Protein backbone atom coordinates (compact mmCIF):
# COMPACT_ATOMS: atom_id res chain seq x y z
CA UNK A 1 0.00 0.00 0.00
CA UNK A 2 1.44 3.33 -1.01
CA UNK A 3 1.34 6.57 0.97
CA UNK A 4 -1.41 7.89 -1.38
CA UNK A 5 -3.67 4.85 -0.87
CA UNK A 6 -3.36 5.06 2.92
CA UNK A 7 -4.12 8.73 3.22
CA UNK A 8 -6.12 9.42 0.07
CA UNK A 9 -9.27 10.60 1.83
CA UNK A 10 -7.45 12.90 4.23
CA UNK A 11 -5.31 14.39 1.45
CA UNK A 12 -8.34 15.07 -0.75
CA UNK A 13 -10.13 16.78 2.16
CA UNK A 14 -7.11 18.92 3.09
CA UNK A 15 -6.47 19.83 -0.55
CA UNK A 16 -10.04 20.86 -1.25
CA UNK A 17 -10.36 22.79 2.01
CA UNK A 18 -7.17 24.72 1.25
CA UNK A 19 -8.43 25.40 -2.28
CA UNK A 20 -11.66 26.90 -0.93
CA UNK A 21 -9.96 28.95 1.76
CA UNK A 22 -7.70 30.36 -0.96
CA UNK A 23 -10.70 31.00 -3.21
CA UNK A 24 -12.56 32.89 -0.44
CA UNK A 25 -9.40 34.85 0.42
CA UNK A 26 -9.05 35.93 -3.21
CA UNK A 27 -12.75 36.79 -3.49
CA UNK A 28 -13.01 39.01 -0.38
CA UNK A 29 -10.74 41.82 -1.68
CA UNK A 30 -12.23 41.36 -5.15
CA UNK A 31 -15.62 42.48 -3.76
CA UNK A 32 -18.53 42.34 -6.22
CA UNK A 33 -16.18 41.64 -9.13
CA UNK A 34 -16.28 38.13 -10.58
CA UNK A 35 -13.26 35.93 -11.17
CA UNK A 36 -12.69 34.21 -14.51
CA UNK A 37 -13.33 30.87 -12.81
CA UNK A 38 -16.77 31.99 -11.61
CA UNK A 39 -17.61 33.43 -15.03
CA UNK A 40 -16.64 30.10 -16.64
CA UNK A 41 -18.95 28.13 -14.33
CA UNK A 42 -21.78 30.58 -15.08
CA UNK A 43 -21.09 30.19 -18.79
CA UNK A 44 -21.37 26.38 -18.56
CA UNK A 45 -24.39 26.06 -16.27
CA UNK A 46 -26.62 29.06 -17.09
CA UNK A 47 -27.82 27.49 -20.38
CA UNK A 48 -28.96 24.49 -18.31
CA UNK A 49 -30.99 26.84 -16.14
CA UNK A 50 -32.37 28.51 -19.24
CA UNK A 51 -33.35 25.17 -20.79
CA UNK A 52 -35.01 23.85 -17.64
CA UNK A 53 -36.95 27.06 -16.96
CA UNK A 54 -37.96 27.20 -20.62
CA UNK A 55 -39.16 23.59 -20.47
CA UNK A 56 -41.13 24.18 -17.27
CA UNK A 57 -42.71 27.31 -18.73
CA UNK A 58 -43.28 25.51 -22.03
CA UNK A 59 -45.09 22.64 -20.31
CA UNK A 60 -47.11 25.15 -18.30
CA UNK A 61 -48.15 27.13 -21.37
CA UNK A 62 -48.89 23.91 -23.30
CA UNK A 63 -51.22 22.88 -20.52
CA UNK A 64 -52.95 26.24 -20.58
CA UNK A 65 -53.02 26.33 -24.37
CA UNK A 66 -54.72 22.96 -24.47
CA UNK A 67 -57.66 24.24 -22.47
CA UNK A 68 -57.78 27.80 -23.72
CA UNK A 69 -58.88 28.82 -27.15
CA UNK A 70 -55.72 28.96 -29.22
CA UNK A 71 -56.64 32.03 -31.25
CA UNK A 72 -57.69 34.05 -28.23
CA UNK A 73 -54.57 33.06 -26.37
CA UNK A 74 -52.26 34.12 -29.21
CA UNK A 75 -54.07 37.42 -29.53
CA UNK A 76 -53.89 37.91 -25.80
CA UNK A 77 -50.11 37.34 -25.84
CA UNK A 78 -49.75 39.89 -28.64
CA UNK A 79 -51.84 42.44 -26.76
CA UNK A 80 -49.92 41.82 -23.56
CA UNK A 81 -46.69 42.51 -25.41
CA UNK A 82 -48.11 45.73 -26.86
CA UNK A 83 -49.39 46.82 -23.45
CA UNK A 84 -45.97 46.12 -21.97
CA UNK A 85 -44.27 48.46 -24.45
CA UNK A 86 -47.01 51.08 -24.17
CA UNK A 87 -46.77 50.99 -20.38
CA UNK A 88 -43.04 51.52 -20.57
CA UNK A 89 -43.49 54.41 -23.03
CA UNK A 90 -46.16 56.08 -20.89
CA UNK A 91 -44.04 55.77 -17.76
CA UNK A 92 -40.97 57.22 -19.42
CA UNK A 93 -42.98 60.04 -20.95
CA UNK A 94 -44.55 60.85 -17.58
CA UNK A 95 -41.21 60.69 -15.83
CA UNK A 96 -39.50 62.79 -18.48
CA UNK A 97 -42.26 65.40 -18.37
CA UNK A 98 -42.07 65.74 -14.63
CA UNK A 99 -38.31 66.15 -14.62
CA UNK A 100 -37.63 68.10 -17.79
CA UNK A 101 -37.35 71.86 -17.49
CA UNK A 102 -37.56 72.86 -21.11
CA UNK A 103 -38.82 71.46 -24.39
CA UNK A 104 -35.29 71.03 -25.65
CA UNK A 105 -34.35 69.01 -22.59
CA UNK A 106 -37.48 66.94 -23.02
CA UNK A 107 -36.70 66.15 -26.67
CA UNK A 108 -33.11 65.24 -25.80
CA UNK A 109 -34.12 62.90 -23.02
CA UNK A 110 -36.84 61.20 -25.08
CA UNK A 111 -34.52 60.45 -27.99
CA UNK A 112 -32.16 58.93 -25.44
CA UNK A 113 -34.54 55.98 -24.97
CA UNK A 114 -35.46 55.33 -28.61
CA UNK A 115 -34.98 51.65 -29.37
CA UNK A 116 -33.27 51.12 -26.07
CA UNK A 117 -35.54 48.48 -24.54
CA UNK A 118 -34.58 44.82 -24.56
CA UNK A 119 -37.33 42.57 -23.24
CA UNK A 120 -36.05 39.62 -21.22
CA UNK A 121 -37.48 36.72 -19.26
CA UNK A 122 -36.40 35.83 -15.74
CA UNK A 123 -34.97 32.30 -15.89
CA UNK A 124 -33.36 31.94 -12.48
CA UNK A 125 -33.29 33.26 -8.95
CA UNK A 126 -30.40 33.68 -6.51
CA UNK A 127 -29.65 30.26 -5.03
CA UNK A 128 -28.93 31.59 -1.53
CA UNK A 129 -31.34 34.49 -1.05
CA UNK A 130 -34.15 35.19 -3.56
CA UNK A 131 -34.08 38.92 -2.77
CA UNK A 132 -30.50 39.36 -4.04
CA UNK A 133 -30.38 38.56 -7.75
CA UNK A 134 -32.13 37.00 -10.75
CA UNK A 135 -30.81 35.58 -14.02
CA UNK A 136 -32.38 36.77 -17.30
CA UNK A 137 -32.35 35.15 -20.75
CA UNK A 138 -30.57 37.99 -22.58
CA UNK A 139 -26.80 38.42 -22.73
CA UNK A 140 -23.98 40.10 -24.58
CA UNK A 141 -25.32 38.89 -27.95
CA UNK A 142 -28.46 40.96 -27.29
CA UNK A 143 -26.43 44.05 -26.44
CA UNK A 144 -26.48 43.61 -22.67
CA UNK A 145 -23.46 44.81 -20.68
CA UNK A 146 -22.89 45.57 -17.00
CA UNK A 147 -24.67 48.40 -15.17
CA UNK A 148 -27.82 48.65 -17.28
CA UNK A 149 -31.06 49.53 -15.50
CA UNK A 150 -33.76 46.83 -15.44
CA UNK A 151 -37.48 47.61 -15.04
CA UNK A 152 -40.58 45.46 -14.57
CA UNK A 153 -43.78 45.37 -16.65
CA UNK A 154 -45.03 48.64 -15.18
CA UNK A 155 -41.73 50.49 -15.64
CA UNK A 156 -40.77 50.32 -11.96
CA UNK A 157 -37.08 49.81 -11.18
CA UNK A 158 -36.03 46.22 -10.51
CA UNK A 159 -32.24 46.51 -10.45
CA UNK A 160 -29.20 46.56 -12.73
CA UNK A 161 -27.22 44.08 -14.77
CA UNK A 162 -23.98 42.91 -13.18
CA UNK A 163 -21.21 40.43 -14.01
CA UNK A 164 -21.26 37.68 -15.08
CA UNK A 165 -22.84 38.52 -18.46
CA UNK A 166 -22.83 35.41 -20.63
CA UNK A 167 -23.62 35.23 -24.36
CA UNK A 168 -27.34 34.65 -23.84
CA UNK A 169 -27.76 35.03 -20.08
CA UNK A 170 -26.92 37.70 -17.54
CA UNK A 171 -27.31 38.36 -13.84
CA UNK A 172 -29.39 41.21 -12.43
CA UNK A 173 -28.73 42.62 -8.97
CA UNK A 174 -32.09 43.51 -7.41
CA UNK A 175 -32.57 46.82 -5.61
CA UNK A 176 -33.48 44.73 -2.55
CA UNK A 177 -29.96 43.24 -2.37
CA UNK A 178 -28.00 44.52 0.62
CA UNK A 179 -25.07 45.56 -1.59
CA UNK A 180 -27.33 47.54 -3.93
CA UNK A 181 -27.48 51.31 -3.73
CA UNK A 182 -29.69 53.65 -5.78
CA UNK A 183 -29.73 57.43 -5.60
CA UNK A 184 -33.39 58.46 -5.19
CA UNK A 185 -35.52 61.53 -4.51
CA UNK A 186 -39.01 61.71 -3.01
CA UNK A 187 -41.54 63.39 -5.26
CA UNK A 188 -43.29 65.69 -2.74
CA UNK A 189 -40.83 66.53 0.04
CA UNK A 190 -37.79 66.29 -2.26
CA UNK A 191 -35.79 64.11 0.13
CA UNK A 192 -32.59 62.94 -1.53
CA UNK A 193 -30.89 59.80 -0.29
CA UNK A 194 -29.41 56.46 -1.12
CA UNK A 195 -31.77 53.51 -1.19
CA UNK A 196 -30.04 50.32 -0.10
CA UNK A 197 -31.50 46.84 0.15
CA UNK A 198 -31.77 44.61 3.19
CA UNK A 199 -32.01 41.34 1.24
CA UNK A 200 -35.69 41.36 2.26
CA UNK A 201 -38.77 42.72 0.52
CA UNK A 202 -38.14 46.24 1.88
CA UNK A 203 -35.21 48.70 1.59
CA UNK A 204 -33.66 51.51 3.64
CA UNK A 205 -33.44 55.13 2.53
CA UNK A 206 -30.11 56.26 3.94
CA UNK A 207 -28.29 59.54 4.45
CA UNK A 208 -31.43 61.68 4.78
CA UNK A 209 -30.60 64.36 7.33
CA UNK A 210 -32.87 64.68 10.37
CA UNK A 211 -33.03 68.42 9.65
CA UNK A 212 -34.48 67.88 6.14
CA UNK A 213 -38.24 68.15 5.42
CA UNK A 214 -40.30 65.31 6.89
CA UNK A 215 -41.23 62.78 4.21
CA UNK A 216 -44.67 61.25 4.49
CA UNK A 217 -45.67 57.60 4.31
CA UNK A 218 -46.82 56.60 0.84
CA UNK A 219 -44.67 59.25 -0.86
CA UNK A 220 -43.19 58.07 -4.16
CA UNK A 221 -39.44 57.80 -4.77
CA UNK A 222 -37.76 58.17 -8.16
CA UNK A 223 -34.21 57.80 -9.35
CA UNK A 224 -32.09 60.97 -9.51
CA UNK A 225 -29.45 59.71 -11.95
CA UNK A 226 -26.66 60.91 -9.62
CA UNK A 227 -25.22 57.39 -9.41
CA UNK A 228 -24.54 57.39 -13.19
CA UNK A 229 -26.15 53.94 -13.49
CA UNK A 230 -29.90 54.46 -13.38
CA UNK A 231 -31.54 57.02 -15.71
CA UNK A 232 -33.27 59.92 -13.97
CA UNK A 233 -36.98 59.67 -13.11
CA UNK A 234 -37.62 55.91 -12.90
CA UNK A 235 -40.23 55.02 -10.27
CA UNK A 236 -38.66 52.99 -7.48
CA UNK A 237 -41.09 52.62 -4.57
CA UNK A 238 -42.92 54.37 -1.75
CA UNK A 239 -41.93 55.41 1.76
CA UNK A 240 -43.35 52.87 4.19
CA UNK A 241 -42.29 54.42 7.49
CA UNK A 242 -40.25 57.36 8.79
CA UNK A 243 -38.54 57.35 12.17
CA UNK A 244 -35.47 58.40 14.12
CA UNK A 245 -32.21 56.58 13.43
CA UNK A 246 -31.11 55.22 16.82
CA UNK A 247 -27.56 54.52 15.62
CA UNK A 248 -26.96 57.93 14.06
CA UNK A 249 -29.16 60.80 15.34
CA UNK A 250 -28.20 63.14 12.49
CA UNK A 251 -30.02 60.92 9.95
CA UNK A 252 -33.60 59.71 9.64
CA UNK A 253 -34.51 56.03 9.52
CA UNK A 254 -36.74 55.56 6.47
CA UNK A 255 -38.09 52.22 5.24
CA UNK A 256 -39.03 51.95 1.55
CA UNK A 257 -41.32 49.44 -0.11
CA UNK A 258 -40.12 48.86 -3.71
CA UNK A 259 -42.81 48.84 -6.43
CA UNK A 260 -41.71 45.69 -8.22
CA UNK A 261 -43.52 42.57 -7.17
CA UNK A 262 -41.01 39.82 -6.60
CA UNK A 263 -43.55 36.99 -6.88
CA UNK A 264 -44.74 38.01 -10.36
CA UNK A 265 -41.37 38.99 -11.81
CA UNK A 266 -41.36 37.07 -15.10
CA UNK A 267 -40.74 39.62 -17.88
CA UNK A 268 -38.43 42.63 -17.50
CA UNK A 269 -37.11 45.44 -19.69
CA UNK A 270 -33.39 46.23 -19.86
CA UNK A 271 -32.54 49.86 -20.72
CA UNK A 272 -29.54 49.51 -22.99
CA UNK A 273 -28.98 53.23 -23.53
CA UNK A 274 -28.95 54.39 -19.93
CA UNK A 275 -26.09 56.26 -18.25
CA UNK A 276 -24.64 52.96 -16.95
CA UNK A 277 -23.33 50.21 -19.21
CA UNK A 278 -24.96 51.53 -22.31
CA UNK A 279 -23.36 54.95 -22.18
Nearer to other proteins, 173 or 223 (CB): 173
Nearer to other proteins, 39 or 91 (CB): 39
Which residues sit at the interface with other proteins, rule CB under 8 A?
8-9, 12-13, 16-17, 19-21, 23-24, 27-28, 32, 34-35, 37-38, 41-42, 45, 48-49, 52-53, 56-57, 123-133, 135, 164, 171, 173, 177-179, 198-200, 262-263, 265
Q: What are phi and psi of 233, to 5 degrees?
A: 90, 5
Instruction: Output the smallest distance, CB 233 to other proteins, in A.
Output: 27
Instruction: Output the smallest distance, CB 169 to other proteins, in A.
Output: 11
Nearer to other proteins, 34 or 222 (CB): 34
Instruction: Output the smallest distance, CB 230 to other proteins, in A.
Output: 18
Instruction: Output the smallest distance, CB 236 to other proteins, in A.
Output: 20
Nearer to other proteins, 246 or 263 (CB): 263
Nearer to other proteins, 73 or 178 (CB): 178
Instruction: Output the smallest distance, CB 216 to other proteins, in A.
Output: 28
Instruction: Output the smallest distance, CB 95 to other proteins, in A.
Output: 28
Nearer to other proteins, 95 or 152 (CB): 152
Amino acid sequence: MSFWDNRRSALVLVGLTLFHVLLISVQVPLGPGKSLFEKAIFFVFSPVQRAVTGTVRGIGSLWKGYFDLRGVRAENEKLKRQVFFLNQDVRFLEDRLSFAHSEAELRASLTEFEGSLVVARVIGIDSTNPHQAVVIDKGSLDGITRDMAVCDRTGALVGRTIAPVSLKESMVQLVTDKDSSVSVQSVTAGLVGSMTGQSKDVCDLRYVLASSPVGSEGEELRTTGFDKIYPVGIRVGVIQSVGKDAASPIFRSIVVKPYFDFASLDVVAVLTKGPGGGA
